[in-house]
Amino acid sequence: MPVSLLCVVKKMQNNDSNNVLVYRLGAGCDLADVEAGNIYQGKVQGFATFGMFVQLNDRIKGLVHKSNVKAEHKERDSVLVKVREVRPNGNIDLEEVQHQVYQVENVERKSTTVRIIDLPEKLGKTVAIEGEIAQIKQTSGPTIFTIIDETGTQNGAAFIEAGVRAYPEAELGNMVKLIGEVMMRNGQLQIEVDGLSILTDEEAEVVRVRIEKALDVRSEPENVPLLVPSEVMEKLRPEMKKVAKIIRKAVFTSQPIILRHHADADGICSAVAIEQAVVSLIRESGGDFDAEYFLFKRAPSKAPFYEIEDITRDLDFSLKDHVRFGQKMPLVILTDNGSTEEDEPSYKIASVYDIPFVVIDHHHPDTTIDKYLLAHVNPYHVGGDFGITAGMLGTEVARMINPKVESLISHLPAVAAVGDRSEAPERALYLALVRDNFPESACKDIALALDYEQFWLRFNDGREIVKDILNLTGNTERHKKLLALLIDGANTMIADQMSACMAHIEPRVLKNDARLFLLDVEIHAHKFTFPPPGKTSGEVHDRLCQQNVGKPVVTIGFGPDFAVLRSRGVLMNIPKMVRELRVEIPGGGISGGGHLVVGSIKFVEGMRSVVIEALIDKIANAQVQQ
């Protein structure tokens, strides 16, 4: 082609503004990606007497000499600039160009998209990962983005300037592509972020489906056999696996977990078993070295149900972490509580924030609460009863969450069984399983020590102290010393309480031949100390059963506005009785519940005599075991 003709063609092409190509440098691009002669989209960074500085991305900037500035600008204005020269020292000479219509082509630094699980092999290399933002944590230095994909969790550190949020357009739950260099920081892998871009809806859906499919498989619990043969728990296995899968998925997606449990030996054993499984799984799945502390929280509930006070504390804790640390709202696990209508007010509050719940409980369930739960393990659903304790159920679920903790927690069902006075056949089987290291007497001592220590802990979980009591730390010598001290303290205080109150018991013989014993724990027992009213009533009941062998015994320990019931040989249904009394005694302010033969009832102080006598009438009409 003649030269003159070639020049004409080029001139015609240049006059066709639709053919003007403008490049937009991605955040990961560096000087090597800049070519002389190309036109780039940039932003005005600042001004000097000799010209205007323009950023091509956060890492690259050049100078437009004042003689090559075509219009007036202010900082952060978008401009088109042509690269005149890239100097050996890295300085870039630019000139402003003006086009009304042009095509934009994104320039991304070439990087290999890898799975998070493969990052250890990419140390020192620039890679790309695609996944969901699970947490955004702003530190005094960089912004830390926690990304999850189908294989794991990884932190990326993005730095603009100290304490300034990087990529403010990125939000929790966004599907993103993160580019950066794989490095080691404080002994952990971390990606130094060069660029982060939000995927388009179409791209995001592809990644989301891929992650969901992989997580569904990864979260599936192992099909481990039960520690002991149990017809009831075999029937519960599908629901236990469902709970375990939900918990495993929460761990793999960096969703915080709050574990609430009744503050007695059974509730503690159930919760600690799950705690050991979850914490070990968090460690195995990667993330920050302290992830087990900010992604998992165990907290006792004073009542055997999820109180308004509990949900208020949990919401306050979760919302603050959501705002301050960019965390998701938590999965809440309730164990040894959560099954009854007393829990419903708290569930309603939680539903405003779309907080998911799973329950592992052995209290008599009410059907009204299942609509609030993702899964619900309860022996009553399959024909069992409260004899299958929460500690038994929690331990079996924990083994499904992470089978590696089995040897550590296999004695917890036995401790829970004796602590909750289970009479189910499984009690003997769990005790036999661990009798060489934890004979029944040792299990009873541990259960009492847990009750005693939790009384002084109040609302604290006492994570490390409880581990020593349960001998989970491997320091057997310290376990023995601590246990001896706690048992001595507990027994001393129980003996003192019994010497004060046993002389004030009021006996009655009911028409069904049941022996009823009444004790006003408000005026005939020490207050604000161990054992508390519920435990005091239980200790009194045990002694009265020993004095009335072979006879049905019911003990009521009452105060100004409450009563605690214990029964042996009288087939009561305490939750049903509470519901009936609520209707039958207007103005009684009645609430409560529990197991069929162990429970509590609350009422207004002025109606105490009326409520207690009505309660006694119902006990007198209950069937007695022959």
* Overall domain count for the chain: 4
The greatest distance separating any two alpha carbons of the chain, rounded to the nearest whole angstrom, comes to: 123
Residue 15 is predicted with a pLDDT of: 43
**Dihedral (C-alpha) 618, 619, 620, 625: value to the nearest 10 degrees?**
130
- Would you say residue 11 has pLDDT above 50? no
CA-nearest of 148, 391, 155, 174 to 272 is 391
User: 496 in a domain, yes or no?
Assistant: no
CATH of the domain at 148: 2.40.50.140
Pair (59, 180) in one structural domain: no
Q: Which of 217, 232, 262 is the last residue of a domain?
A: 217
In this predicted structure, which of 134-143, 380-389, 393-402, 505-514 has the lowest mean pLDDT?
134-143
Do the Cβ atoms of 131 and 166 come closer than 8 Å? no
Which domain-ending residue is among 182, 217, 252? 217
Query: Is residue 269 domain-shared with residue 352, that is, in the same domain?
Result: yes
Do the domain assignments include residue 488?
Answer: no
Q: Write the CATH number for 603.
A: 3.10.310.40
pLDDT band at 509 (very low <50, low <70, confident <90, very high): very high
Region of 474 (left: φ > 0; alpha: ψ -120 to 50; beta: rest) is: left
Q: Is there a single domain that holds both residue 227 and residue 212?
A: no
- Show the tokens assigned to 318: 């979760």
- What are the tens digits of pLDDT across the range 242-296? 999 999 999 999 899 999 999 999 999 999 999 999 999 998 876 565 667 778 9
pLDDT score of 28:
67
Closest C-alpha among 162, 139, 281 to residue 219:
281
C-alpha–C-alpha distance, residues 419 and 94, integer Å: 79
Q: Are the C-beta atoms of residues 594 and 304 closer than 8 Å to each other?
A: yes
What pLDDT is recorded for position 304? 85
CA separation, residue 105 to residues 20, 23, 255, 417 (Å): 11, 5, 37, 68
Q: What's the pLDDT tens digit per position in 142-181?
A: 999 999 999 988 999 999 888 899 999 999 999 999 988 8
Measured CA to CA, the distance from residue 532 to residue 516 in angstroms comes to 21
The model's pLDDT over 24-51, given as tens digits with 9 standing for 90+, comes to 987 667 787 899 999 999 999 999 999 9
Share of the chain above pLDDT 70, in %: 95
Distance CA(141)–CA(134), nearest Å, equals 20
Give the pair of three-digit tokens for residue 189: 């892998």
| pLDDT of res. 2 | 35
Q: State the Cα–Cα distance between residues 462 and 453, nearest whole angstrom.
A: 9
Instruction: Tell me, yes or no, whether 69 lies in a domain.
Output: yes
CA angle (449, 450, 455) in 5-degree steps: 100
Give Cβ neighbours of residue 284 (< 8 Å, ≥ 6 apart).
Answer: 402
Say how far apart CA 271 and CA 592 lie, in whole Å. Answer: 23
**610 assigned to some structural domain:** yes
Percentages helix, strand, coil for the chain (3-state, rounded to 5) are: 40, 25, 35
**Whole-number pLDDT of residue 3:** 33
Mean pLDDT score of the chain:
91
Separation of alpha carbons 558 and 538, rounded Å: 12
> Up-side HSE of residue 381: CA atoms within 13 Å toward CB?
21
* Nearest to 541, CA basis, from 513, 503, 502: 502
Of residues 535 and 595, the one with the higher pLDDT is 535
DSSP state of 84: E
Both 59 and 117 in one domain: the answer is no
Is 489 part of any domain?
A: no
Domain membership of residue 83 as a residue range: 3-107
Q: Is residue 373 part of a domain?
A: yes
Q: How many CB atoms lie within 10 A of CB 7?
A: 10
* Judgement on whether residues 118 and 101 belong to the same structural domain of the protein: no
Residues 273 and 150 in one domain: no
Residues 125 and 103 both lie in one domain: no
What b/e sequence results for 461-480 when a residue is b if at least 16 CB atoms lie within 10 Å of its CB, and e otherwise?
Answer: bbeebbbbbbbbeeeeeebe
Average pLDDT over residues 515-538: 95
Q: For residue 75, what are the contacts with CB-CB under 8 A and spacing of at least 6? A: 44, 45, 46, 47
Assess whether 212 and 226 both reside in one domain: no
Residue 459 lies in a domain: no
CB neighbour class for 276 (10 Å; exposed up to 12, middle 13-18, buried from 19): buried
Shared domain check, 318 and 269: yes
pLDDT more than 90, % of the chain: 77
For residues 12 and 464, what is the distance between their CA atoms, to the nearest angstrom? 79
| Residue 25 included in any domain | yes
CB 276 within 8 A of CB 409: yes
- Specify whether 29 is located in the same domain as 147: no
Q: Where are the alpha helices (DSSP H) in 410-459?
A: 412-419, 425-434, 440-457
End of a domain among 107, 127, 158? Answer: 107
Question: Closest by alpha carbon to 415, among 397, 390, 382?
Answer: 390
- Predicted TM-score (pTM) of the model is 0.80
Q: How are beta strands 188-198 and 153-158 bridged, if at all?
A: parallel
How much is the pLDDT for 1?
A: 33
DSSP track, 58-83: SS-EEEEEGGG--S---TT-EEEEEE
pLDDT band at 323 (very low <50, low <70, confident <90, very high): confident
Pairing of strands 92-97, 61-65: parallel
User: Degrees (nearest 5) of the Cα angle 11, 17, 19?
Assistant: 80
Which stretch of DSSP H or E encloses residue 598?
Answer: strand 598-602
Q: Are residues 136 and 182 in the same domain?
A: yes
Residue 421 and residue 350 share a domain: yes
